[in-house]
Amino acid sequence: MPKFFSDLISDLSSTEFLSKLEGLTRINGLLADPSLQGGGLHLTKRSGHLNVHADFTAHPITRTWRRRVNLLLYFNSRWNDNYEGHLELWTRDMTECIQRVSPILNRCVIFNTENDSFHGVPTPLNCPIDMTRNSLALYYYTESNTKAKLRPTNYQARPNAGDKKSLIWADKLVVAIYTRLKSKLGVSDQTMGKVLKRIKRHR
């Protein structure tokens, strides 16, 4: 990771920033995740997408941490609305998209992480082949006295959008297995990523 981004993550994990975030969200005791489980730098190529979903709400390794806040920061200096890539925010009952956010440079989106905080980038990107959609995702937690229920990312089909429900169901199943493996084995996304790379090479 380039030093600029590691320094930025450090700043957005600092006591000073956490205090500002607590004031904004009115959630006290927010904690940054140094292991960046599920977070960090995200890059999406042409035709890429992310189905609408509600995020996992318990830290897969530190089970007494409950996920409370998402922060998304975008790094796309020449983004055109025709490229798609909009973040969609949906109602709790998944009946309507109430906001579409273009991922333009320095735009930051902060929202609560709940069982029904449905969001995603479901429309495939239409950007030039040599461009990518770039963002930083950081997740913040609060400490609990008991283990939080391990609920994996919950993917949803959009109504009347032609989403393939069978594929979305398969996504949910794979992510659930992956989340439980990480929790049982106590390994990070980075370690799991190395394992997946080895499997891919052998294929």
Task: List, for residues 30-77, the tens digit of each pLDDT value.
Answer: 999 999 998 999 999 999 999 999 998 888 888 899 999 999 999 999
Range of the domain at 80: 3-202
User: Which residues, in sequence order, are CB contacts of 155 under 8 Å at separation 6+?
Assistant: 51, 52, 53, 168, 169, 171, 172, 175
- Domain total of the chain: 1
What is this structure's pTM? Answer: 0.84
Which amino acid is located at 69 in the chain? Answer: V
Count Cα neighbours of 91 within 13 Å in the Cβ-side half-sphere.
7
Tell me which residues of the chain have a pLDDT lower than 70.
187-189, 196, 200, 202-203
Where residue 112 sits, what CATH number does that domain have?
Answer: 2.60.120
